[in-house]
Structure 1
């Protein structure tokens, strides 16, 4: 197939070329005069499985024939005939390393604080893989110069890395990377003495890793061996090529650096790399433009000398479009519109971006038109239904089950899917949610579920509650346990929840479809290797599971659109598309920010011979250069993200700066034309997002229901609301709407007030005769502990509120003794009512406390957990005590009869325990009562509307019914618009 040569054989294809198609064409051209079986004797190594599939598809386009042996470079290490032991599973090695790392973190608490143990183990495993791949032994880390002049942190990390040196011993079971390198080294040594007679070709690999570069060199040196490089810059001058590794700092961030190093190691020159085929790239002028734009930093001054000689600028940029959107949403919509047009015209189009958030936004925008792109990365397993379900179940361990966590699991689409009938489960879940929201408890347990089910056991809810309580039994158990125990308990609980009452895990949807099968694979591997994991806490197991699920992905089950795709940068090297969109071209995305290395600094890596961060940047630059040379390209970025202004990608900056400086060549005009084409897509995106008809803002409501529908009875606590926010009374009392209690109950003001009121009520009811202050204080604190333990399930709130009572206990006991010396408590939370016959209205009340004094008069008390209202607030808004006093004088409380009111007092259950007396003079009470009659009479008239937020105490306060009133579409100074309703 190849002519005999003493030199190693290197071929390449330029950037922008359809690599798989031209690879096959070149193979067929060389095998044209040979017998058919010659091609079958050829071994073709490619770099990815997707490339393997694409090469097969291209061969199919050329008709039936014998195909070469298609193999993956990454599969060389799995050769069972190499005589080496099987590689240690990656998860097992990471679990073993996690145990070592855990010991380090326990001894050195300040080593990488805030990093999960398994994440540290992952990074250490990656470092070991890199050392194996690059052929760097642990001894290289023992050089005295490696840690000199470095912080103590790096010295500690070096000491720890030396602990794992045993994994590099010759008799140690090899990792996958170690086995890969050993097999390649053995293969290269065997080929030196006994080279294969049949052709061996490696295509599509850049040789960025040490073991792969070793394999490329070995193949290139074979008599019938060849390497076909992707995205090779044939336009780079020899002087620039030779400067890439000159000086103390090689240009590793240059897209051609890996090729230059491979060519140099093979003893070749830039001109010795031959073209695989005679095909030109889609736009040769653009290849030359990008080659100049990517000049290494030390020689970018050549823009001044080479730029004026650059020709074909208009042709080079004719297929380029630059989108500079104002925000990520606009960018995503503009990209989606371009992909939609490609789908309509039948053009093969692809979005390439490392930004997965951007690709998900684009996919969501395409869903508007029913276009499902072929996403090469699939869906992260952690975000798939099985992944979310498994994470929710794992999160239960080691803590009390909250209402939110329980309902999240019960409503998950995979829960109770094993019986074939999910209707009862959904009904019971809905009823349980309403019960828990309204009555609690905040942490439902088996007893609470059984009590709820006992109200209606005849409809099957008792069996359902028993299944749920049994499944969740024991989740609160905390502490360390072997990883194998956590895995078994987790899987048992997950499968039981997925099965449902009377169902089976096999019949459920947990392990079905692509995501379920991948989740089953991950969990099966974890179960198989768990014995190597050591002890884990519940939180540690949750972190481990999240890491494993986050590293896996599941392909979408639906059939994607045949011509619209979303690719990662690796897939972009091996695909051909008419339209390529490079999205998210900002620093931190293109190139991606290098991950932090907790083990070695950059200088230490360089001294040890390991990969530098610039190597990753150079790979990203190569991906950009290849994709940007496609027939039609859209370069896209958002000028601003959710936090701040963004910085354009360094490569986009290079391109735009170069064009802007080529004034004599028409560069600025070409750049402006690129931006104009981008503005076209941005204008379409803006038009798509702009409503066709303007929706007017809602007016400030003041509904006027019929007089017959208006409430004829209100408690005194609602009078303040009727004054401040009449619309809330309308919604609650007329529309009969009640806000659902939160699914995540918190120790708020209402909970605090209820608990404090009960504490005081129990204290007053159980007051013995001749109690000393010390005994009264001790009894008050005992009641506090009892009530808080029953009413408040949050330990922090219990401690905080107990401290609040303890602070005022002495003052409260002292003032309570004074109150008891004047009279006796007659009413505690007892209801009362007064009818207003002149307007046909009933006022009700349930005062906290009314004491009957020795002279027969009464004194009314109201407990406040917050600050009592001021005198002005009492006169205008907060009329509760005044109206209760007026009711007492009118015989509103049967146990008292008509009684003269001696006084009224607010008692604060907080602060310093201060008391605030209320003026209950006859004139004041008469004015309050007459004002009440006028107020109620007005609202019983059909002409009066219930205005929203008429006089709220705090404009920042959000009412229960503000969303119903469309608050926010109008201001508090907007006049209300009365409207007849009903």
Structure 2
């Protein structure tokens, strides 16, 4: 062992890895520290992260000037904050550390238990938490169970990393002082008792626990058997106790050295001494490492051979400035001394910009512009460092919009890959009982084929959507208190019922899909397709509502495979030639293995997809994109020891960077102190050190958003300190370096040109394609919105029903019409003894046949019951005066328009023949009927035109020139009173006037020079099915202005 620890420093403002690589290549003996015969390949170098390992390897090869080089053994140390990165043995390289044990020692060392994966540990802990909650009578939903598990896992990691004896929890608070703490202790027995037994039973250990054991084993080994070659530990702050002990060991080795990054040797001694309790200071971590190694700051030498820069060097001046700005609070009063002594050169503000955006979108825009601009300079590299994933995604999307792919080292969650989304959609479809929206999302996923080729599958899904998925979605409830619908009103059974209902009524697909086809077998193909879907999902639908993850996982894999098989019976998911899909599938299967192993954990069907998404989200995947080699986005951990010509520090807001200090859910600050745990602010100190190192880059851009989602944000404490020191030292001679140019450029890029509003469309189709047949209700549409007639009858466009529609006034009105029609057909002559009861029974019978009817009665039954009573009185009074009733009767008449026949059609709700031979025409309304003025002025011509058709003998059973006695609107709304009758005056005159006016209207639109203009009378338009096609909002707002 060396009598004096070998600890060196590379100050801020220097490229750490570049200095390291340069010295190792030019002088492997490190200026005589090691034997002069030491070669580069003799070294073992330990670095904090895998990225730092790769970068040092690249630098060594690049600076060697050769194509091949005997490399030293460079391994990642695994010195990471567990809250920033979930430790995994394979990812952090601890398997590689085992390789550092000499062969003569390794066989005699007791083997370490393998570590559990993160998901395996989550499931095991969640099972124990779930069992405890059930035993204690506090069982809640999965949300509370998963939250408790996450908090418990965080506590377990903290205790293990900081090497705290868990048994000390019981003695933290005296028994007589806190009943609540005793209750908490009962729960924490999961950690103190159940968890150790579980680990012993399965022969596994926690990842953090195994890392500490492995590092300690290496420390003990090197203390007793020093390695033959030099060992260099570089860039670590020793924040983990086991790592700190290993660094102490390496520093004491005869052939060992520790190289620190960014130790501030200019911090006044009294400030350095205060760092024992200043945990949020950027030098705090290095202070505690020196304390653990029993070193004074003066004992630490500059790294051998470091080419010292001038104090006027931009990077060194910037490093000095930021270190002074972040002095401990007690020293800020000495800033005034910097005006005469040790004032950093003002050139530190060269190549430095600060942008405080109004919102996240603007912040992302300026960052994206800066990154894109960097590419204009050959060989220039640029990097965004931010802990804000939302900002990173925004920047990625903007650059992609400009044709630049950027490497985001954080990757993307597996849940957002195509494989993860597909699995989630399968479980969501089951959890929502195959709601139309969720089922369609699944069926339209690229991996879904259901035994078809891509084209056939798309066609079948489209037809299924048109036949059975659009429109009203039943709830499964019934006014009778049970589901009396003839078929199941939910799920795939309901879809089959709707398809078979359509088939029985011979509803041809042309009527629904606007396709010109006469193939009547199409609906049969869709039924076969839906039935196959039902069979494919059977493994999942057969799983009990409360099931183990084991059962759910196996069924999910079976369903996914079946759904993804094409017409050649090949799974386009499992047998995909796409390498990226294969990698995603491999990662997905690793999660599913843990899912399937969970034989004791049960979850309700509604939460299966939540659980899967939770664990898939924790698994990060690096997307295979052709990223630009000179650009990158990194988190705080990934960016350590990484250099770039331009460094952008994003999201500099309190709560983001730095994050707020958190004590966790279980331990207060005094409790943590009693257990000798580090202060929560230690993490802020680590982030502050990252900030100082990144701020010392050759070119730097600092950004923040003043508001996020409309909420004002406080600037980062470090940014505020920089502003304060700048104001005192440089305000008169050097302005604050706002990024005005980039801000102006983003405003220019982001501001679209003024929109050019379209004019109101005026289509003028040829006369021979104009309609020669319209219903009387469409005549009113022609008056107020001619474009709707053009779109429907000339363009043959029909609006699609929405997905999962609620009960609308139109659905309710249609159902009431059907009830009154069926009642009249059921009792055409003599009324039953109890008319009101018969009306109600008729409604319930219809409700049994349609899910829409069930929904109407479920929410409208009290009103309908009142309507039934009113209808009873209405029928009893009228039946004595009439001889025959026609219900829902169709009629038509032909008129001569522009020397061509034109047919007017109508469907009357009810026509009565009176005992005096006159005719009454009745129209049912569940809403407000048109006013008398509208009818008289022909703004509502429906009923007068029905009268004209009746007079012309256009209704079968009604003689020509029949006299119209009544035109009546029957309003049934269930209010008080439940219904009312309004009879129009002078029906014959109304009919004559309406027919004359309609002829003139039709003559006008028979002229091919007449345009079908949208919304001639906007205030009278009730249905705007074609407003988006006519771009009404665009030109109408322009005209209004």
Q: Same fold (TM over 0.5)?
A: yes
Does the CA contact (< 8 Å) of 2:966 and 2:984 recur in 1?
no
Instruction: Determine if the alignment matches structure 1 residue 939 to structure 2 residue 1005.
Output: yes
Q: More deviation in 623-632 or 138-147?
A: 138-147
Q: 2:129, 2:190 within 8 Å by CA — same for their partners in 1?
A: no
CA distance in structure 1 between the aligned counterparts of 2:857 and 2:576, rounded to whole angstroms:
40
Task: Give the secondary-structure state (helix, strand or coil) at the position aligned to 1:837.
Answer: strand
1:575 maps to which residue? Answer: 642
Are 1:6 and 2:3 an aligned pair?
A: yes
- Measured after TM superposition, the shift of residue 929 of structure 1 is 4.0
Q: Which residue of 2 aligns with 1:809?
A: 868
Report the secondary structure of 1:833's partner residue: strand
Q: Which residue of 2 aligns with 1:178?
A: 209
Deviations 1:59-100 (A, max 9, x none): 222245543322232358654855232223332221121123
Provide the C-alpha distance between the structure 2 equivalents of 1:171 and 1:524, rounded to a whole number of angstroms. Answer: 23
Q: Can you list the C-alpha shifts for 1:461-517, whole angstroms capped at 9, x where unaligned?
A: 777555434213365455111111100111111111122343233775669523542
Q: Is the 8 A contact 2:142 2:607 kept in 1?
A: no
Offset at 1:968? Answer: 2.5
- The CA deviation string for residues 278-337 of structure 1, in whole angstroms up to 9 with x for no partner, is 245761111111112222344433334446645345211112112233333333232222
| Matched-pair contact (CA < 8 Å) for 1:725–1:948 | yes
Deviates more, 1:650-659 or 1:35-44: 35-44
Segment of structure 1 superposing worse, 649-658 or 462-471? 462-471
Residue 445 of structure 2 is aligned to residue 412 of structure 1: yes
Residue 102 (structure 2) aligns with: none
Partner in structure 2 of residue 207 of structure 1: 238
Give the 3-state SS of the residue equivalent to 1:227 in structure 2. Answer: strand
Distance 1:842 1:506, change over 3 A: closer
Go from structure 1 to structure 2 and tell me whether the alpha carbon gap of 1:342 and 1:735 turns closer, same or farther (over 3 Å shift): same
TM-aligned CA deviation for residue 377 of structure 1: 1.6
When structure 1 is superposed on structure 2, of 489-498 and 939-948 the one drifting more is 939-948
Q: Where does residue 391 of structure 2 map in the other structure?
A: 358
- Please say if 1:263 is aligned against 2:261: no
Query: In structure 1, what is the equivalent of residue 365 of structure 2?
Result: 333
Q: How does 1:285-296 map to 2 (within 5 A)?
A: 285-296=317-328
Q: How far is the alpha carbon of 1:845 from its aligned partner?
A: 1.3
User: How far apart, CA to CA, are the structure 1 residues paired with 2:999 and 2:745?
Assistant: 61
> Residues of 2 paired with 1:657 and 1:667: CA distance?
10
Residues 472 and 806, structure 2, Cα contact 8 Å, conserved in 1:
no
Tell me by how many angstroms 1:626 deviates.
1.6
Q: Is 1:960 aligned to residue 957 of structure 2?
A: no
TM-score (norm. length: structure 1)? 0.88
1:482 aligns with 2:548: yes
Partners of 1:508 and 1:378 in 2: CA distance: 23
Q: Aligned partners of 1:65, 1:148: CA distance in 2, in Å? A: 68
The Cα offsets for residues 569-611 of structure 1, whole Å up to 9 and x where unpaired, read as: 2121131110111223333332245679444445544444445
Match of 1:979 in 2: none
1:904 pairs with 2:968: yes
Partner of 2:302: 275
Matches within 5 A, 1:286-435: 286-306=318-338, 309-346=341-378, 347-416=380-449, 421-435=453-467
Q: Does the 8 Å CA contact 2:130/2:139 hold for their aligned counterparts?
A: no
Cα separation, 1, equivalents of 2:121 and 2:138: 25
Matched with 2:843 is 784
1:751 is matched with 811
**Structure 1 residues 163 and 879, CA, compared in 2 at 3 Å: closer, same or farther?**
same
Per-residue deviation, residues 803-849 of structure 1 (Å, max 9, x unmatched): 54245333333434334344366222221113333665432211222
CA distance in 2, matches of 1:342, 1:728: 53
TM-score, with length taken from structure 2: 0.84
Structure 2 vs 1, CA of residues 734 and 310 (structure 1 numbering), >3 Å: closer, same or farther? Answer: farther
Q: Deviations over 1:689-734 (max 9, x none)?
A: 3456x55212233444444443332212223323332322222223
Change (3 A) 1:112 1:579: farther
Q: Is the 8 A contact 2:14 2:315 kept in 1?
A: no
1:589 aligns with 2:589: no
Contact 2:12–2:263 (8 Å) recurs in 1: yes
Unaligned runs of 5+ in 1: 977-982
| Counterpart position of 2:513 | none
Aligned partners of 1:804, 1:609: CA distance in 2, in Å?
70
* Distance in 2 (alpha carbons) for counterparts of 1:783 and 1:211: 80
Relative to structure 2, which stretch is displaced further, 393-402 or 275-284?
275-284
The yes-or-no answer on 1:496 pairing with 2:562 is: yes
| Residue 883 (structure 1) aligned with residue 945 (structure 2) | yes
> What's the secondary structure of 1:115's corresponding residue?
helix
What's the C-alpha RMSD, in Å, of the aligned pairs? Answer: 3.6
Q: How far apart in 2 are the matches of 1:824 and 1:10?
A: 112
Q: Secondary structure at the match of 1:396?
A: helix
Q: Give CA-to-partner distance per residue, 1:873-926, whole Å, 9 cap, x none.
A: 544533333332343333331222334232412322444432241424244444
Separation of aligned partners in 1, 2:862 and 2:541: 28
Distance in 2 (CA, whole Å) between partners of 1:108 and 1:614 is: 35
What is residue 788 of structure 2 aligned with on the other side?
Answer: 728
**How many Å separate the matches in 1 of 2:983 and 2:339?**
88
CA offset digits 1:749-804 (Å, max 9, x no partner): 3333333332332233223876666x544444444344334432698666224454
For the residues of structure 2 that align with 1:595 and 1:873, how far apart are their CA atoms? 69
Deviation of the 1:350 alpha carbon: 1.1
Q: Distance in 2 between matches of 1:395 and 1:31?
A: 62
Determine the C-alpha separation between the residues in 2 that align with 1:815 and 1:298: 91
Corresponding residue for residue 496 of structure 2: 447
What does 1:19-38 correspond to in 2, within 5 Å? Answer: 19-28=16-25, 29-31=27-29, 34=35
Q: Determine if the alignment matches structure 1 residue 232 to structure 2 residue 263.
A: yes
Instruction: Tell me the equivalent position of 2:622.
Output: 555
The question of whether the paired residues in 2 share the 8 Å contact of 1:138 and 1:162 is answered with: no
Offset from partner CA, 1:633-678 (integer Å, 9 cap, x none): 111233344424443333222222321232xxx3365343x21xx1
Counterparts in 2 of 1:668 and 1:440: CA distance versus 1, 3 Å: same
1:472 to 537, 544, 548: 537
Offset at residue 560 of structure 1 (A): 1.6
- Correspondence list, 1:837-876, <5 A: 837=896, 841-875=902-936
Q: Do 1:351 and 1:583's aligned partners in 2 also have CA atoms closer than 8 Å?
A: yes
C-alpha distance in 2 between matches for 1:644 and 1:958: 39
Question: Which string of whole-angstrom CA distances, capped at 9 and with x for unpartnered residues, describes residues 553-575 of structure 1?
Answer: 22222332111111122121131
Q: 1: distance between equivalents of 2:710 and 2:813? A: 40
Q: Which SS does the other structure have where 1:572 is aligned?
A: coil
Residue in structure 2 matching 1:530, options 596, 599, 605 = 596
Q: Distance in 1 between matches of 2:246 and 2:884?
A: 94
**Higher mean C-alpha deviation, range 484-493 or range 389-398:** 389-398
- Are the aligned partners of 1:15 and 1:626 in contact in 2 as well (CA < 8 Å)? yes
Deviation at 1:619, TM superposition (A): 2.5
Secondary structure (helix, strand or coil) at the match of 2:700 reads strand
Preserved CA contact (<8 Å) 2:815 2:853: no
CA distance in 2, matches of 1:332, 1:826: 71
C-alpha change, 1:656 and 1:530, in structure 2 (3 Å) is same
For 1:718, the equivalent position in structure 2 comes to: 778
Aligned to 2:165: 137
The 3-state SS of whatever aligns with 1:830 is strand
Alignment partner of 1:836 is 2:898? no
Secondary structure of the 2:651 match is coil
Distance in 2 between the 1:780 and 1:214 partners?
Answer: 88
